[in-house]
Amino acid sequence: MSRQESAAQTPLTPAVLHILLALAEGERHGYAIAQEIEAATEGDFHMGPGTLYGSIRRMLSAGLIDESPHRRRADDDERRRYYRMTALGRRLLDGELSRLSRVVRVARGKRILRDPGVA
């Protein structure tokens, strides 16, 4: 069993999941990832700089993301690095999301989770 497959079976930490979600729409630099997560969760998920960059470092070394050679805009701060999702990252995100949606389906079937808006 390869390292990637074993990793794919593990539930992702919230930080990794959110970073992958933020990168699903395209490459971003770290600061933008934080802003995106903040906006997407309406401030519920408040990720500290250490958690953010620590997760980025681990995701880089695990091969879930890599550094993009491109700059989005010419005037962008050149110190900023851009990150993008790898194929492995994409597969992992897909796996996690379908796992989560199965969980939600089960919960709904048991009437534990009500549809949003119904309440």
Contact footprint for another protein (CB under 8 A): 3, 6-7, 10, 12-13, 16, 29-31, 34, 46, 48-54, 56-59, 61-62, 64, 79-81
Task: State in angstroms the smallest separation of the CB of 111 from another protein.
Answer: 21
Task: State in angstroms the smallest separation of the CB of 21 from another protein.
Answer: 15
Q: Which CB sits closer to another protein, 89 or 116?
A: 89
Q: Are 61 and 10 in contact (CB under 8 A)?
A: no
Task: State in angstroms the smallest separation of the CB of 26 from another protein.
Answer: 19
Sign of the CA dihedral 56, 58, 64, 69? positive
Q: Which token pair is 113?
A: 């989770």
Q: Which CB sits closer to another protein, 61 or 111?
A: 61
CA 33 to chain CA centroid, Å, is 9
Q: Which CB sits closer to another protein, 35 or 114?
A: 35
Task: State in angstroms the smallest separation of the CB of 39 from another protein.
Answer: 13
Print the SS3 string covering 19-66.
Answer: HHHHHHCCCEEHHHHHHHHHHHCCCCCCCCHHHHHHHHHHHHHHCCEE
Q: Which CB sits closer to another protein, 80 or 114?
A: 80
